[in-house]
Chains A and B, each alone.
Chain A
Amino acid sequence: MDTRTVYFDNNATTPLHPEVKKTIIKGLEIFGNPSSMHQFGREARELVEESRATVASFIGAAPEEILFVGSGSEANNTVLSLLRCESTSCACPLSGKNGLVTTAIEHPCVLNTARDLGRHNHAVTFLGVDKHGRIDLDDLRRAVTDKIGLVSVMLANNEIGTLQDIKEVARIAHEAGALFHTDAVQAVGKIPVDVKDLDVDFLSLSGHKIYGPKGIGALYVKKGAPYCPFILGGHQESGRRAGTENSLGIFALGKAVAMRALEMTDEEPRIRAMRDALKAGIAASIPDVLFMGHPEHCLPGTLNVSFAGAEGEAILLYLDLAGIAVSTGSACASGSLDPSHVIMATGVPVENAHGSIRISLGRENTMDDVTYMLEQLPPIINRIRDMSTVYRRR
């Protein structure tokens, strides 16, 4: 059996950048608590603040607008939970205006928090999307009533790669007097993101999607935006997020972002070219395929494709046996019967959702990986279709 391995699941997580690895190894020696005043603490504090400045400058923010959190999910939960604040002593003026507008294709950490808000008497609207995964701005305009305190729309979708027109979305939210948050976990480090240009109030990002470690993320909170801590306790992160800082993770996130700043611009066209070659190769060698996501407004390295008559988990596992890692929108792989909520929201037939795979490329992929995939995939699809009750060659 071929021992070649190809990792095409970079939207799930990315391999550590070699420079990040070095930073982690060096960072292991720096054990001081950043909150301690002695030299050990000061040494850690200095590096934490260096990372903060790096992360801030990468997205056009000021350092004091960045707080480090445990994950993208925590960042998103923190922002949505601002709507829960009913304290009269709090600076957060959202009480009474505690409705939320979000979309049907958000990450589960937003969707589930939104649903929970809905169960607690918050007015929550989930905007639908078109067949390419984009929301309708007129729908948005109608949804942002004077009860809406927050609009949360993801910048790039993790499954289909579709980008929203965040600048316009933010403008509409602000015109209606709502705050605006974007989950930019899949976008930061892949495409240019500038919080001032987009005019967002809150933005979430995560380390392990940009060749950094898992368990570290950052939340941008615009200066002056209402804010309540989600994790209560000590005075860390200026009292906005309690808990001793994950200093090692923070050093590593800083390095990961610094490397993105150096490499992203050159890398983007290369990744886009590989994605386009995959797409063209699949279209040329396999009949009856459907590409999901937006043809233009899309992450450079994400390709979501559905194969008629072939179920996704079977494709994933045959590819796995050939050493290729992808992910799937199929229900089976996730252990439930419901296929991907994102693909379902785009209105394609449910069969397409069951038969889709997501190929997500990263900095370590090469054209050889693309060639190998294009050798392996067609016979696998053929094989599955050969067994299929529903696929008949035309």
Chain B
Amino acid sequence: MATKWTYSDKVKDHFMNPRNVLREGNEEDFHGIGKTGNVKCGDEMMVFIKVDPATLTITDCKWQTYGCASAIASTSMLSEMVLGMKLDEAYKITAKDILNALGGLPDNKVHCSVLGDKALRVAIDDYYRKNGMEDRITTQTAKIVCECMQVTDEDIEHAVLEGARSFQELQDMTKIGTGCGECQEQAMATMSGYIQKHFGL
């Protein structure tokens, strides 16, 4: 049965032969560690980096994940992309960059690829923190968009990655705007921003 696989050849290659997986036991050797997601929501990602302090360049990047094929492939891809990269450059990598490098993922799998770059940023932040460079940390914390229901911009991003395209779908997923309703306009704007960011629509 020679049928086309759901994913690109690149994804398949990284899934079958994941690069730079951290086998257990040597986490202490790393200068920065970042973790995102959790097992409950089905995906958890950890990124471990070594940094050359003179040039602030990533000299090694390893990872572990509890996740699906897209999560495995995208983190593997990311770990190859960042080798030799300056920290401030690596900080700017987005899920879209990883997606492009992988030759794309089906829309409903995009959410599986966003944890890697986030975990990397957390790892870089961890390095900055450990080395007295807190001023370089720019990772913003989640902003509340809907006060009544305490829905944040991150929640909206998540919903978009899960397929929300209309306000109704966003509301079904997050309960946003079901209180006073005053957040609707901002919610729509935030949502469009994320649709643009992840799907270029």
Contact = CB atoms under 8 A, between A and B. Distances in A.
Interface of A: 5, 309-314, 317, 321, 330-333, 335-337, 339, 350-351, 354, 386-392
A331 B108 CA distance: 11
A388 B69 contact: no
Given A337-B111, A339-B42, A386-B23, 11 more contacts: A309-B66, A314-B68, A317-B68, A332-B43, A332-B67, A332-B109, A389-B35, A389-B45, A389-B64, A390-B39, A390-B44
B15 A389 contact: no
Contact of B40 (A332, A333, A350, A391): A350
B74 interface: no
16 contacts: A309-B66, A311-B66, A311-B67, A313-B68, A317-B15, A317-B68, A332-B43, A332-B68, A332-B71, A332-B112, A333-B68, A335-B106, A388-B65, A389-B45, A389-B64, A390-B66
B108 A335 contact: yes
Given A317-B69, A387-B64, A387-B65, A311 B42 contact: yes
A335 B109 contact: yes
B69 A392 contact: no
Contacts of B104: none
B142 interface: no
Nearest to A331: B42
- Chain B: interface residue count, which band? 20 to 34
Q: Which of B42, B43, B46, B71 has the most CB of A within 10 A?
A: B42
A226 to B, nearest CB: 34
B135 to A, nearest CB: 30
Interface of B: 1, 15-16, 18, 21, 23-24, 35, 39-46, 64-72, 106, 108-109, 111-112, 162-163
Contacts of A391: 66
A214 to B, nearest CB: 18
Contact of B42 (A337, A387, A389): A337
A346 B11 CA distance: 34
Given A332-B42, A351-B40, A389 B162 contact: no
Contacts of A354: 39, 42
B18 A387 contact: yes
B65 A332 contact: no
B137 to A, nearest CB: 23
B37 to A, nearest CB: 9
Contacts, number: 76
Contacts of B71: 311, 332
Given A314-B69, A335-B108, A335-B109, A389 B18 contact: no
A389 B75 CA distance: 13
A388 B16 CA distance: 15
Contacts of B44: 389-390
Contacts of B45: 389
Given A332-B112, A337-B162, A388 B66 contact: yes
Nearest to A385: B66
Contacts of A351: 39-40
A336 B68 contact: no
Contact of A332 (B16, B70, B163): B70
A321 B1 CA distance: 11
Contacts of A337: 41-42, 111, 162
Contact of A321 (B16, B42, B163): B16
Contacts of B21: 386-387
B151 to A, nearest CB: 16
B108 A311 contact: no
B161 to A, nearest CB: 9
Given A332-B112, A335-B108, A336-B162, A389 B68 contact: no
B40 to A, nearest CB: 5
B42 A330 contact: yes
Contacts of A388: 64-66
Nearest to B41: A337
A337 B44 CA distance: 13
Q: Which 4 A-B pairs have the closest CB atoms?
A: A335-B108, A313-B68, A332-B68, A389-B64
Nearest to B161: A337
Q: Which of A332, A336, A392 has the most CB of B within 10 A?
A: A332
Contacts of B67: 311, 314, 332
B182 to A, nearest CB: 26
Q: Which of B67, B70, B71, B111 has the most CB of A within 10 A?
A: B67
Nearest to B67: A311
A315 to B, nearest CB: 9
Contacts of A339: 42
